[in-house]
Each structure stands twice: as C-alpha cells, then as structure tokens.
Structure 1
Amino acid sequence: MTVGPSSPERSRPSIFWPLAAIVLPVVGVLTRIEVRGAEKLPRTGAFVLSPNHHSEIDPVLVAVATWRMGRVPRFLAKESLFRVPVLGWILRRAGMVPVARSRGAAAQALAQGRELVANERGVIVYPEGTLTRDPDLWPMRGKSGAVRLAIAGDIPLIPVAHWGAQAVMPRYGRFSVLPLRKPITVAVGDPVDLSDLRGHPNDQAAITAGTGRLMDAITALLEDLRGEKAPPERWDPSRSGQPETGKL
C-alpha cells in the first residue's frame, strides 16, 4: 500500500521488490504507520531525506514510510561494508551511497550529489549521525553531512520527524513485539530553504547555518507530533561529557 503515486524507479523491478515483500508484511503486523505530508516528497529526481533518530529500529520504519510514499529508500553506508561478501553485493545492487572517511567531506559530497542527480535517486541521511543523546529523545546537535550533500548537489533537503519507534525498541533497549500494531507517525516537512547557501559547499559558516535550519525544521515537526515544546537549547553531547557513539 502506498500513500502517493510511485516514482518511475519505484515501479521498475529491482532488488527492493523482494526486500519489500519480506519487510512490509512484518512491519505491518508490528506497527501501524501513519504518514503525514507525503506529497512533500518529490515524486521524481534526487532528494536528501533527513529524519530524527531515537531508536535502532527507526531506519526500518523510515524506509517503509519512504517506500509507501512512492520512492526507493537508500541510506549512506560505510565504504567498508561494500567490501563484505554478499552484503557488499546487496548494497551495490540497491544503490546505497558509500561514505569513505579517508576522502574530504566537500569532495565526497560533490561526487555523491552529482551521482544522485544523474540517477535521479534519493538518499536518507540522519543529521544527528547516531541515536540522540537527549534524555527526552528530542533531536540533538546536528552534523553537516545532509546539508553538505544537499548544497553540493543542489538537491532538495526534506526534513522528517517520526514518533512511536521507541515503543517497538527503546533507545538501547529490547525489541518489543506486543502489543501488535503499535502506532507510528511520520511527518514530512517542506524542503529546507538553502537558496542563499547554494554555491558554498566549502563555506563552513554556510554549512553550519544550513544544519541549524534543518534541525529546527525536524524539531518543529516533532513538536507537532508530540504535542509539546522541545527544550530551548538543543542537546550537545560534548557539553555533557557523553561519547558521540555507543551506549550511554
């Protein structure tokens, strides 16, 4: 079931079809996903979709929502994973986007942006880079990857917020099956306005400004879903003596 017309790519046979045949029924039993603002995701062309991240399971739920909105869900993936037998083949066939730490961020973003535009593909990029460290699961400080990619490729940057994944799998918690059909809400926002920052993929001030706008947009969407206001200051792990990755 889709909530919008499928893109030409989504309609063509691909490795995503058997994956969807397996994943969609399972997710459909475990959750009930409501998508708001599906019309804001472009039907064709490249895009960068940027969601909040508060559960290990939410990439699967965001992927399902993206598929239901008529687009193919692709993620950034560490380049080393592409060298793993079988897994690497699947990632390449699925068109996942490799990230190499050895390459400069600006040059890598420019190459990735050009490839996305040339193939009219989208990519899902978590701007927080890891599960939020905020005690109440609000979006924390963002990183530059999503904005850098959007600016370098002149690609629409679409903010997304979702809520309910923590009932399926709490942050660093155990997977919960019951009750079935847990409600998940996914809200898609208007593209973040980066028009004044275009042409400045190497300008750190521009990247920082764009990242702030993106995190503000995601937070506003989440405030609406939760029916409450986020803290006035965004959580910064470094100020709290927390590691950037791994369990708290």
Structure 2
Amino acid sequence: MSVAPKTPERRKPGAVFRVLAAVVVPLYGWFAKIEIRDAHKLPADGAFVMAPNHHSEIDPLTVAVATWKIGRLPRFLAKESLFRVPVLGAALRGTGMVPVARGNQGSQALRQAKVLVENRSGVIVYPEGTLTRDPGLWPMRGKAGAVRIALAGGIPVIPVAHWGEQQYMPRYGKLKLWPPRRPVTFVVGDPVDLSDLADRAQSRAALEEGTERVMAAITALLEELRGEKAPEQRWDPAQHGQAETGRM
C-alpha cells in the first residue's frame, strides 16, 4: 500500500474526527481488509474533489476510511437542514462537512469551492448521485455536482474506484457479519483534465462533457479492479424509468 506523507490537515484533525476515527476505522476493519493503490495520486495538500463510484450502501465507509489512511480528512456533502439537527449538526460542523442547500447551483458551487480552497481541504462527491442502478454494478450516468465545484474553484477532480463491498453488503441487501475482513480494493486515479472547460464553466455542455470525462475515468479504474470491461452503453436511469435520488 502506497501512502502519502502526513499533511498539516491530518496532523491536526478536530476532536470529533479523532473520536470517529478511533471507533470507525477498527470497527470497519472487521468487515473489510482495504488495499489502497496509488495513494500518492491524491494531493498531499490543498483542495480536491474526490469522485468515487457507488455500488453499495456501505461504501461511503470504505471511501472515508481509505481517505483517512492516505492522510486526508474525509468530508462529504450533506444537506444543509441536517446542520440544524441537535448533536448531528454539531458533528457535521465539527468534521467540516460541506453543506448543500436548495437554490442556484452555480452560486452554491462557487461558495463551496471557496471554502475548500481557503481551507486547503477536500470533499467527496458521488457523481452518480445515488447507488448505481446498473445491473452489473458499473457506474451509471453522472450528475454535474463534482465538476461544477471543481470548475468553480479551479480544483482538481480525483477519480477513485473501489470494489469488494458487495461481498458483505450487497446493493439493497443485508449486512453479512461473517466471514470477517473481506478483501476490498481502493484505487486512486490521475486528476481528470478539465482545463479546456474552465472558460465556459457554467454552460450545460461543459458540465456534461466534464462529468462524462469523470465517469469514464472512474469506469476505467473499476475495469482495472474487476479485470473486465464495462458495457459500452452507460446505464441511464432516466431512460429506464427510475427516479434519481440521493447525494448530489
């Protein structure tokens, strides 16, 4: 496992992060033995947008634990209303989660990007927006959230892929406690080049093009992990009469 050197962000995590890590990392270790590949490709310092695939309800824990082990603090987007819930709101603020509110997506992305750049921190955004509906668990059509934030702040998008969680938490299935420590692989990809889209960051065409580049990069990483090719046609929930709900 290649691991990036400790960063100023990692050396001074807040108390909430330290408590969560002390509980979650060893607990999740019961279910998964995570192998991390190409950890050096995640920036050791500065802002980033991490874009992972999403095929199991439990895989946010894989992403969070792997990100922590690499040396960066795992932060996700969270609905703004959750920040007003007692206890939960304090935990979200204490771990620096990034609020998502209803409203103009362009201006919201600009605010989110500004916070990331100022704090030299990262955010994890699932570009599919929800669990993949693809029958083979391949990445489906993406949403523009990750690219919108990245273009708003000139922040790199880092594609990642992971595979193995379906062994103990199948999509829409029940958590399996035995056997423990199933192998899960987490691989970090090269930043997705969006430089040619920067001058038209708010256009729908640019956001769609950037999102497809991100989804293609994630899919290529997952093909590497699975040792097989993804379907040529990406699954599109809109064309299969399935609602898209969940994360941005």
TM tier, smaller:
over 0.9
Q: One-letter code of the match for 1:22? A: V
**Alpha-carbon contact 1:51-1:218 (below 8 Å) kept:** yes
Provide the residue aligned with 1:172 in structure 2: 172
SS of alignment partner, residue 223 of structure 1: helix
Shift of 1:114: 0.7
Q: Secondary structure at the match of 1:67?
A: helix
Alignment of 1:124-203 (within 5 A): 124-203=124-203
| Residues 237 and 243, structure 2, Cα contact 8 Å, conserved in 1 | yes
Shift of 1:13: 4.0
Q: Distance in 1 between matches of 2:240 and 2:129?
A: 17
TM-score by length of 2: 0.96
Counterpart of 1:84, as a letter, is: V
Question: Does the alignment pair 1:44 with 2:45?
Answer: yes
Letter of the aligned partner of 1:28 in structure 2?
G
Cα RMSD (Å): 1.3
- The two structures have a TM-score, normalised by structure 1, of 0.96
> Is there any run of 5+ residues in structure 2 with no aligned partner, and where?
none
- Deviation per CA, 1:171-220, whole angstroms, max 9, x where unpaired? 11101111111000001000000010113221111111000000000000
Deviates more, 1:4-13 or 1:90-99: 4-13
In structure 2, relative to structure 1, the CA distance for the partners of 1:2 and 1:91 (3 Å cut) is farther
Poorly superposed stretches of 4+, deviation over 2 Å: 1-4
SS at the partner of 2:123? Answer: strand
SS at match of 1:50: strand
Secondary structure of the corresponding residue to residue 109 of structure 1: helix
Shift of 1:3: 2.5
1:97-140 deviation digits (Å, cap 9, x = unpaired): 00012x20100001100110001010000000000000010000
State the secondary structure of the residue aligned to 1:199. helix
Aligned to 2:245: 245
- Give the whole-Å Cα distance in 2 for the aligned partners of 1:27 and 1:33: 10
8 Å Cα contact 2:2-2:36 kept in structure 1: no
In 1, the alpha carbon distance for the partners of 2:78 and 2:180 equals 30
Per the alignment, residue 10 of structure 2 pairs with: 10
Verify the 8 A CA contact 1:151 1:199 in the aligned structure 2.
no
Partner SS state of residue 200, structure 2: coil
CA distance in 2, matches of 1:140, 1:171: 14
Q: Distance in 2 between matches of 1:37 and 1:13?
A: 23
**Which 5+ residue runs of structure 1 have no aligned equivalent?**
none
C-alpha distance in 1, partners of 2:73/2:2?
Answer: 12
Q: Percent identity of the aligned residues?
A: 65
- Summarize deviations over 1:51-81 as a string: whole Å, max 9, x none: 0000110001100000001000000001111
1:25 matches 2:23:
no
Letter in 1 for 2:230: A
Report how many residues are paired: 245
